[in-house]
Amino acid sequence: MIPERLELHLRDGTPVVARPLTPGDRAYVAEGYRLLSPDARYQRFWVRDGQVIGDAMLDRLLTGDLPNHAIWTVFDPTREGFPGLGAASFWRSKDKPADAEISATVLDRDQGRGVGTLLLSILWLVAYRHGIETFTGYTMPENVGALRWMQATGAQGEWDGYNAVYQWKLGDLDAIPEGSAGADLAARLADLAPLFL
C-alpha cells in the first residue's frame, strides 16, 4: 500500500509533509518552477528561457500512472507564501521494465537540508514495491552538487559523452556508502519501509 500523505521531519527538525502530486497541483508546480534560479532551472529542465513552465511539461509531470510513473513533493505547511521545498519523479523504462529514470528538483533556498534524500527514499520504496530494480539519474557534468549527492547516496556513474549517468541498485542496500547523505538515506529507508508494505 502506498501512503497518500506522510508527516515527517527534516534533519534540522523542520516538520514537513510528503505526498504525491496530482493534476490539481498545476498552479503549485508552476509556482515552484518560477521560484527556481535560472541555473537550477537549466540543470533540471535543460531550458534557460523564462520562468513559465509549459502546459505539455505540466501534463507530463502531473499525470501519475503507477506503476510506471510517480511524482512526490515535500512541503513545509507552516511556511508563509509558497510552502514547497522540492519534488521528484520516476518514469519506468518501456524497454526495460525493471529500470526507471529518476529526477529531482529542490528549491535553491532549501538545498542541503536533506530534501532530495527524503524524496529519493520515498520514490525508492514506491518503485521497488512495483518491481523496479534500478534508478538511473542524468545530470550535466558541471552540476557538481548533484554529482556529489548522487555519489554520496550510493549511485555509481559514468560519463556518456554528453551527460553524467548514475544508477542506484534498489535491492542493494549495502551499496549505500557511509557518510551523512548515505546514513540519512539508509535511515529514511529503514523508517519508511514499513509504511510501504
CATH number of residue 19's parent domain: 3.40.630.30
Give, as one character, the DSSP assignment of residue 24. Answer: G
Any domain includes 1: no
Neighbours of 178 (CB within 10 A): 9
- Interhelix angle 115-129/180-192, rounded to 10 degrees, is 40
* Full domain range(s) for residue 37: 6-196
Any domain includes 140: yes
Any domain includes 45: yes
Rounded CA-CA distance 120/70 in Å is 12
Any domain includes 25: yes
Task: State the amino acid at position 74 in one-letter form.
Answer: V
What's the pTM?
0.93
Domain count, the chain: 1
Any domain includes 164: yes
- The tens-digit pLDDT sequence of the chain (197 residues) is 789 999 999 999 999 999 999 999 999 999 998 998 888 887 777 666 667 788 888 998 898 789 999 999 999 999 998 999 999 999 999 999 999 999 999 999 999 999 999 999 999 999 999 999 999 999 888 888 889 999 999 999 987 777 899 999 999 999 999 999 999 999 999 999 999 97
Any domain includes 20: yes
Provide the 3-class DSSP secondary structure of residue 33.
Answer: helix
Any domain includes 27: yes
Any domain includes 131: yes
